[in-house]
Amino acid sequence: MTAASRREFVAILAAAGGGLLLGYRAEGAQGAASSAAAATTSPGFAPNAFIRIAPGGGITLIMPQAEMGQGVYTSLPMLLAEELEVAPGQIRLEHAPPDDKLYANPFFGEQMTGASSSVRAFYEPLRRAGATARAMLVAAAAASWNVDPASCRAHKGVVTHTPTRRSLTYGVLAARAAALQVPDKVTLKDPKDFTLIGTPAKRLDTPSKVNGTAQFGIDVQLPGMLIATVAASPVLGGKVARLDEQKAKAMPGVRQIVRLDDGVAVVADHMWAAKQGLAALDIRWDDGPNAKLSTPDIVQGLAKASESPGVTARKDGDPESALAGAAKKVEAVYEAPFLAHVTMEPMNCTVHVRKDSCEVWTGSQVLSRARATAAEVTGLPLEKVVVHNHLLGGGFGRRLEVDYVTQAVRIAKQVNAPVKVVWTREEDVQHDVYRPYYYDRLAAGIDSQGRPVAWTHRIVGPAIIARYVPLFFKDGKDVDAVDGAVQLLYDIPAIRVEHVRHEEPALNTGFWRGVGVTHNNFVVESFIDELAAASTQDPVAFRRAMLGKSPRARAVLDLAAKEGRWGTPLPRGRGRGVALLYSDWGSYLAQVAEVEVTGSGDIRVRRIVCAVDCGRIVNPDIVRAQIESGVVYGISGALWGEVTLKDGRVEQSNFHNYRVLRMNEAPPVDVHLVRSGEAPGGIGEPGTAVTAAALSNAIYAATGKRLRKLPLQPGLASSTR
Partner 1 sequence: MVTVKVNGKSHQVDVPSDMPVLWVLRDVLGMTGTKFGCGMALCGACTVQLDGQAIRSCLTPVSAAAGKAITTIEAIGATPAGKKVQQAWIALDVPQCGYCQSGQIMSASALLARNASPTDADIDAAMAGNICRCGTYGRVRAAIKRAAQRSSISGTGARS
Residues at the site binding partner 1, with contacts judged by CB under 8 A: 10, 14, 67-71, 202-203, 205-216, 218-219, 221, 227, 252-253, 269-272, 275, 342-346, 391-396, 422, 424-425, 621, 625, 628-633, 636, 654-656, 660-664, 666, 668-669
What one-character-per-residue DSSP string does 311-322 give? EEEEEES-HHHH
Contacts of 562 (CB under 8 A, 6+ apart): none
Which of 47, 75, 28 has the alpha carbon at shortest distance from 622? 75
- Nearest-approach distance from CB 420 to partner 1, in angstroms: 9
- Nearest-approach distance from CB 253 to partner 1, in angstroms: 8
- Nearest-approach distance from CB 97 to partner 1, in angstroms: 21
Nearer to partner 1, 69 or 516 (CB): 69
- Nearest-approach distance from CB 657 to partner 1, in angstroms: 10
Q: Give, for 207, the enclosing helix (H) or strand (E).
A: helix 206-209
Rounded (10°) CA dihedral 497, 629, 122, 552: -50
Nearer to partner 1, 132 or 208 (CB): 208
Sign of CA dihedral 218, 221, 225, 226: positive
- Nearest-approach distance from CB 216 to partner 1, in angstroms: 6
C-alpha to C-alpha distance for 402 and 404, rounded to whole angstroms: 5
The angle at the Cα of 625, spanning 638 to 438, to the nearest 5 degrees, equals: 25
Nearer to partner 1, 211 or 300 (CB): 211
Nearer to partner 1, 393 or 539 (CB): 393
Which of 397, 420, 393 has the alpha carbon at shortest distance from 409? 420
Nearer to partner 1, 399 or 451 (CB): 399
Nearer to partner 1, 303 or 666 (CB): 666
- Nearest-approach distance from CB 14 to partner 1, in angstroms: 7
Which of 687, 671, 705, 638 has the alpha carbon at shortest distance from 564? 671
Strand, coil or helix: 475: coil
- Nearest-approach distance from CB 106 to partner 1, in angstroms: 24
Nearer to partner 1, 132 or 587 (CB): 587
Nearer to partner 1, 70 or 430 (CB): 70
**3-class SS shares of the chain: helix, strand, coil, % to 5:** 40, 25, 40
Cα atoms found within 13 Å of the Cα of residue 614, Cβ hemisphere only: 28
C-alpha to C-alpha distance for 346 and 604, rounded to whole angstroms: 29
Residue 194, φ and ψ in degrees, nearest 5: -60, 135
- Is residue 501 within 8 Å of residue 477, measured between CB atoms? no
Nearer to partner 1, 174 or 232 (CB): 232
- Nearest-approach distance from CB 628 to partner 1, in angstroms: 6
Which residues is 334 bridged to in the sheet? 440
- Nearest-approach distance from CB 424 to partner 1, in angstroms: 6
- Nearest-approach distance from CB 278 to partner 1, in angstroms: 12
Longest dimension (CA), the chain: 85
Sign of CA dihedral 278, 283, 289, 295: positive
Nearer to partner 1, 67 or 529 (CB): 67
Strand, coil or helix: 226: strand
- Is residue 444 within 8 Å of residue 488, measured between CB atoms? no
- Nearest-approach distance from CB 30 to partner 1, in angstroms: 18
* Burial class, 383, CB count within 10 angstroms (exposed 0-12 / middle 13-18 / buried 19+): exposed
Nearer to partner 1, 391 or 611 (CB): 391
Using only C-alpha atoms, the chain has a radius of gyration, in whole angstroms, of 27
